[in-house]
Amino acid sequence: MPLSPRRTRIRRRLFVTVVAVPVLAAATALVVAWWPTGDPEDVVTGYLDAIRSGDFAATAEYTAQAPGEPDTSDELLTEAAMPTGWEFDDVRTVGEPFEDSATVDFTVAADGRERDGRFRLDLVDGEWVIADPYVTVDASRSPMGYVEFNGVTVEADRVRVFPGVYRVFESDRELFDLPDYIAVPGGGTGYRPSVPVTDALTGLVETRVTEWIDSCVAAATDPFPDGCPFRADWGGGEYVFTNGHIYDDPTGTWRVAEYPKVWVSQDLQGFRLRQVAPGEVVFTGTGMRGDALGDIALDCRFAVDRLTFRLGPDGEVPLSREIGDTC
């Protein structure tokens, strides 16, 4: 059963002990002692309740100032990205609290899955506060080159988030559907989702490959286009050798004779292109053959297999290849 919402403020009780010592005349001394009466479990419960109710301001009441981390984005620590409407249970203190620190575990459940989280609490000025209130998510090995939690997109490999249950990559639901992500502190925080390679995803990648080749064809005015899957490569990009002749300073245009056919898989580096059939492009132009201008015609078959990429926002598929001679 999920815990009922409780917003417990830590109060101090002032105990006054009056000690009367008769020495010729009455004298009174006051001994003042301050004791924390809040329970670490109440602090964790209050913090998690504030998060799941979307009360951004209230979360600060239960936490210490948490410094930022190098190369880590805090763009998801906003009210818009807060995870709401989820359930937690079994808040429990681990062992006995020390004089100035305590450890509290809790459990988050979603879609039949459970994950245990752990907070460290410090006693500061008589109040228990959560020392590590956020979860650092490492998405550097995700096949996506960005993070999208609860509809908020961040182009970063490491992000800090509130604990809770997040809807992920909602803008890509037409391509694939992924389960919610449970973020808890103290556990493994690497995020590398297994993405189903659907027909929609394969179709998107095929379209992006076609656009990439079209952009190469449109931009290149010589046989040596950079970052493209095809090129002539003689003399360090200074001349073309074909039909037994050398052509210096070649210029001309490319056209597509056949686009490659591909499918997609996921591996440790992201997504990988797998080739079904190669592509073919044609270059026509002119170059100096000795002292005279000569015509050039090149047929170039090329491959795009084994190219890896990470899917970007809005269906971006960043593709580039540095390659030797394909003509």
First CA to last CA distance, the chain: 68
Profile the chain (327 residues) by mean pLDDT over runs of 10 residues.
37 30 32 52 97 95 87 95 94 87 94 92 94 94 95 96 96 93 84 93 96 94 90 76 89 96 91 94 94 93 91 93 78
**Three-state SS for 292?**
strand
Contact 264, 202 (CB under 8 A): yes
Q: What is the pLDDT of residue 163?
A: 96
Is residue 175 within 8 Å of residue 169, measured between CB atoms? Answer: no
**pLDDT value for 171:** 92
What is the pLDDT at residue 187? 65
pLDDT score, position 309: 94
pTM over 0.85? The answer is no
**Tokens 């010589």 label which residue?**
222
User: What distance in Å separates the CA atoms of residue 69 and residue 158, rounded to the nearest whole number?
Assistant: 9
Give residue 188's pLDDT: 64
Predicted local confidence at residue 327, as pLDDT: 82
State residue 156's pLDDT score: 95
Q: Residue 36 pairs with which residues in a beta bridge?
A: 12
- Residue 298 dihedral angles phi and psi, to the nearest 5°: -125, 130
Cα–Cα dist 317/145, whole Å:
10
Query: Which fold, 12-183?
Result: Nuclear Transport Factor 2; Chain: A, (3.10.450)
**CA 65 from centroid of its chain's CA atoms:** 24
Residue 57: Cβ within 10 Å count: 8
CA distance 139 to 161: 12
| Dihedral (Cα; 304, 310, 316, 320), 10-degree rounding | -40
d(CA 235, CA 200): 43
Instruction: Give the start-to-end residue ranges of the domains of the chain.
Output: 12-183, 199-315
Predicted local distance difference test score (pLDDT) of residue 189: 76
